[in-house]
Amino acid sequence: MWLSVVVLLLMLSVLPFANAQESAAVQELRSELVRLKQQIAKLEVVLARIATEQPQVETPRPPAIQRAPAMNTPPMLPPSRPEAFQKTPPRFDVLMQVRGDFFPNTARNHTFFLRKAEVGLKGHITPHVDFSLELDPVRPNDPYRRTYLRLSHLERLHLKLGLEKAPIGLDELTPTGQLPFVDRSEVSDRFAAAEELGIHLESHWDRWLFQFAVTNGGRRLLRDDNRSKDATARVVWAPRSWFSWGVAALRGSAGVESRNRDRYNTELRIGSTLSGLQSEFYRAQDGEIWSTAYYAAAYWAFRVRSTWLTHIQPVIRYEQIGRSDRVKDNELRLVTAGFSLLLNEHRSKLQVNYLKDLLTGTRKDEIRTQYQLEF
């Protein structure tokens, strides 16, 4: 019995000690949990800081709306500011073209000549007045090209006073240095109006271009006594950067007898001056004679990986002129094919074109070569 009492007393003495050990273990576990929570909180703060310091990816902006092709003007028409046109101080532009013509017909002599040596001076006069002066000494009897004062007091309506191209004919209105062919089309040479002296208006919008001009008329096509004036209007729609379509009309008369000299034109361009398709259609009246003319041209610039050559540009064009009087010598069916080596795109290039007369057989057959430098 005494033995039982001793065992019982020993068990009662050990129990408080076990409870004490269990309580200490629980306290230690709780302390460890608190410490882990603190470390997790610190880790979350560090991760949040790293996330805020990472560079933000910018959402790409939609491409700017491309403007309709204008009449040898900058692609946009903001208020006239020096920084907008880079004409302060005045800027000099030079265009040189050296030409060689070679004829399969031995009755015609091969020839080399300086086709253009244009020197342009463009500058800024007042906040809304600019000027352009272009001279071509190769034509001593008619040296002035695009020479005018440009007033831009209204943002959407600009006024040019002086010598500027009448707004008809996409091929004619394309700057000489950007032509994919050695020459403009025969259709354009015969029916477009080139530079005319007078008043030229231009209104430029996001997808539309409106142009109107009142000029002396007859400067290149048919000189007259300026008894009457020519009125020319053009509208171009360009819903995409690579597509434009336009219509134009010229109403006037020329000569002492004031013969009617009317032109109706529609134009289409897909692409750019480097690669694309281009076509125009004319309906023209000269006195009692009506002419129907059109051309279609294709050109494509293939990029070249070279230190001295940027593109190779094959070109081809077909044009046709018919007349109501059926005089064969004044009608035309012509194919032009060739290529350009673009040494620095249009600024420096070597062009070779072959012309084949499909109507008379030999009248227009020739090879035209040209080296151009623009700076």
Sorting pLDDT into bands at 50, 70 and 90, what band is 16?
Answer: low
Position 73 scores a pLDDT of 56
Give the single-character DSSP code of 57.
Answer: P
- Please list, residue by residue across 179-207, b when 16 or more beta carbons sit within 10 angstroms of its beta carbon and e when fewer do: bbbbbbbbbbebbbbbbbbbebebebeee
Does the pLDDT of residue 221 top 50, yes or no?
no
Per-residue model confidence as pLDDT tens digits over 77-111: 555 666 666 666 788 889 999 999 998 877 788 99
pLDDT given for residue 90 in this prediction: 84
Measured distance CA(108)–CA(131) in Å, rounded:
43
Tokens describing residue 49: 């800081």
- In this predicted structure, the answer to whether residue 67 has a pLDDT above a threshold of 80 is no
319 neighbors 190 (Cβ within 8 angstroms) = no
Do 27 and 35 touch, CB atoms closer than 8 A? no
Answer whether residue 370 shows pLDDT above 70. yes
Which residue type does 52 have?
T
Find the mean pLDDT for residues 12-17. 51
* Cβ pair 243, 69 in contact under 8 A: no
By mean pLDDT, which of 111-125, 252-266, 332-346 is the weakest?
Answer: 252-266
pLDDT, position 82:
63
- What the chain holds in terms of domains, given with CATH numbers, is 82-374 (2.40.160.10)
**pLDDT grade, residue 125 (50/70/90)?**
confident
pLDDT given at position 54: 55
Give the residue, 74 or 128, on which the prediction is more confident: 128
Contact 241, 66 (CB under 8 A): yes
pLDDT at 219: 59
How high is the pLDDT of residue 19? 53
Residue 336, classified by CB atoms within 10 Å of its CB into exposed (0-12), middle (13-18) or buried (19+), is: buried
- The closest of 174, 95, 99, 178 to 366, measured between CA atoms, is 99
Pick 129 or 13 by higher pLDDT.
Answer: 129
pLDDT surpasses 60 at 290: yes
Q: How confident is the model at residue 154 (pLDDT cuts 50, 70, 90)?
A: confident
**Average pLDDT across the chain, whole number:** 83
CA distances for 250 relative to 32, 170, 177, 284, angstroms: 94, 14, 25, 9
The residue among 286 and 44 whose pLDDT is bigger is 286
Structure tokens at 271: 């692409």
| pLDDT above 90 for 181 | yes
- Tokens representing 51 are 């996330």
The structure tokens listed for 31 are: 């302390």
SS3 245: strand
Q: How confident is the model at residue 301 (pLDDT cuts 50, 70, 90)?
A: very high
Q: What is the pTM of this model?
A: 0.77
Q: Average pLDDT of 133-151?
A: 90
